[in-house]
Amino acid sequence: MTLHGEESPAGLLLAAGEGSRLGRPKATLELDGERLVDRGVRTLRDGGCSPVLVVAGAAQIEVIGAVVVPNPDWRDGMGSSLRTGLAALPPRCPAVVVALVDQPLVTPAAVARLIAAYEEGAAIAVAAYGGAPRNPVLLTAAHFAGAAEAAVGDQGARGYLRAHPELVTQVPCDDVAAPDDIDTPDDLSALKETPELNRLRAERSRPAPRSRPHGAAGR
């Protein structure tokens, strides 16, 4: 149940960059046989976001389970993608979780923690690792316009958050996610060997617990 019976927070995945240092758009890069854009959408949906929007630019992509929003100004940087995505949110959207496509170690559990903080009254919730705020970020509707106005160049919501620290609730996510990003081929190679990714692989391969039939006695 969401705060005050409102709609669920939306999910917004910023995936418009060309990946100049990587040699290809990050959205189309595959990790464990899954495109980063699909991984990001799955993370937001499984974490409790609905609907999920993907801001695309350098690569024309189709994504199952998400609305793709083209950003014709993607070359201007991440700020233009955040503005494009916020402008495309449905009317009466109460909040949005903003995530980056190049951070595949962010998990549904981290997204769910941000939504829980929102349901407890947080105006802005930010995933923190080692005490430092990173991504993803949850913004309530009252801050969409301010965040969009402050999003310039390669700066997304960071400028707005720094200007309003009194509004920010940091949500520790060290135990369920990691902020590692992929900018170069070396970053990708290093990420494949991280303990966090190996843990996520193990969790995804583990069978889901079988539900106990109604009336079955505990042992």
What is the DSSP annotation of 48-89?
T-SSEEEEE-SS----TTSEEEE-TTGGG-HHHHHHHHHHTS
pLDDT, tens only, 190-200: 887 776 776 67
Q: What percent of the chain stands above pLDDT 70?
A: 87
Instruction: For residue 218, name the pLDDT band (cuts at 50, 70, 90).
Output: very low
Average pLDDT over residues 112-120: 97
pLDDT, tens only, 154-178: 778 888 999 999 999 999 999 999 9
β-pairing, 132-140 vs 124-129, is antiparallel
Contact 61, 21 (CB under 8 A): no
Better pLDDT: 139 or 202: 139
Average pLDDT over residues 73-90: 95
Q: What percent of the chain stands above pLDDT 90?
A: 71
The pLDDT value recorded for residue 204 is 60
Domains and CATH numbers, the chain: 3-204 (3.90.550.10)
pLDDT, tens only, 10-49: 999 999 998 888 888 999 999 989 999 999 999 999 999 9
Instruction: For residue 105, name the pLDDT band (cuts at 50, 70, 90).
Output: very high
Q: Could you give phi then psi for residue 155, rounded to 5 degrees?
A: -100, 125
Q: Worst-scoring range by mean pLDDT, 11-15, 102-106, 123-127, 210-214?
A: 210-214
Average pLDDT over residues 118-124: 97
Residue 1 clears pLDDT 80, i.e. is over it: no
The pLDDT value recorded for residue 217 is 33
The three-point CA angle 202-204-210 to 5° equals: 105
- For the entire predicted model, the pTM comes to 0.87
Query: What does the DSSP 8-state code read for residue 55?
Result: E
Instruction: For residue 187, name the pLDDT band (cuts at 50, 70, 90).
Output: confident
